[in-house]
Amino acid sequence: MALGRTRAGYRGVNYWPGFVDALSTLLLVFIFLLSVFMLTQYFLSQAITGKENVLTRLTAQLKQLSEILALERANSGSLEDQLSALRASLKSAEAERDRLRGAASTGADARALAADLESERTLNERQISQITLLNQQIAALRRQLAALEEALDASEKRNKESQTKITDLGQRLNIALAQRVQELQRYRSEFFGRLREILGNRPEIRVVGDRFVFQSEVLFDVGSAALRSEARPELDQLADAIRDLEMKIPADIAWVLRIDGHTDTRRIATAQFPSNWELASARAISVVQYLIGKGVKPEHLVAAGFGEFQPLDPGTTEEAFRRNRRIELKLTER
């Protein structure tokens, strides 16, 4: 079957199909970018969720420290009140002692007054000991309060640093993903440009959006998953282009060339292929195995079968069936 013919009586150029293909390409590029954006937002939300869990734990710790600090401050206030009361009692006792001493110097009950003074002195000594102990306890509580305030300040600082790191992580992730997408798009454009040069301008091999499309008849006979001998030269050139791409794309970019098999809506039911799923998958696997045999690395290839469920043309004409029977090549992230 001839792959190209000149037409007699050619009278003009019909630009409409080219315009439709260009518009479809723009639409599919937009859909691809939107899908990448949604995937980016998904991974970013996962990273932010993990950071929010850390922040929740830090907030709970801050709340607990605040409660402890409030309790310690209340205890400190109670001890200071006790200290004030003891000081007032001491002052009253000292005044009573002075009064008794004055009475002792003028009265006849000097012995009884001396005993009272001794009792007051003992009481004063006990009160002074209690005051000293309270002072020590207050000093210890103040040290604890200072330590708690320092811990709160450190926790607040870590909280602010975590918020800053989360914001910075999100920005860097967005920038990195955008750079990877742009870089992969550049390699895709170069790869498709190389394929156009190799395979030429043929109606049965075309670019649709971000995919390079072969009509099934170029590679397979009807109802078969065995590669036609006439298709091997094109696949050899395709393998050369993929090997060249493997050398150009940096190792830190995870990419694959996905080989998608599609059929038309007419059902197949044979011993070898019970459904269109099996036929579409077998055709994709045949292409992948051939490319591996030509030196393409297996980790850069994926075979996928879509059966009849992703048609390009929803019609039921022979032309629609022909368009839907296809093998698509898509360069994408792994």
Where are the chain's structural domains? 50-180, 201-333
pLDDT (0 to 100) of residue 287: 97
Q: What is the pLDDT of residue 270?
A: 92
Q: How far is C-alpha 86 from the geometric centre of its chain's CA atoms?
A: 63
Q: Assess if CATH 3.40.50.300 describes domain 50-180.
A: no
What is the homologous superfamily of the domain 201-333 according to CATH? OmpA-like domain (3.30.1330.60)
pLDDT beneath 70: ranges in the chain: 1-16, 18-19, 47, 51, 54-55, 72, 75-77, 79, 93, 97, 100-117, 120, 167-182, 184, 196, 198-203
Q: Where are the beta strands (DSSP E) in 4-74?
A: none
pLDDT value, residue 104:
53
The answer to whether 191 touches 245, Cβ cutoff 8 Å, is: yes
How far is residue 142's CA from residue 140's CA, in Å, rounded to a whole number? 5
Cβ atoms within 10 A of the Cβ of 115, count? 11
Q: What is the pLDDT of residue 1?
A: 42
Instruction: Say what the pLDDT of residue 168 is.
Output: 65
For residues 258 and 251, the answer to whether their CB atoms sit within 8 Å is no
d(C-alpha 318, C-alpha 233), whole Å: 27
In sign, the C-alpha dihedral spanning 246, 251, 253, 254 is: positive
At residue 162, the pLDDT reads 73
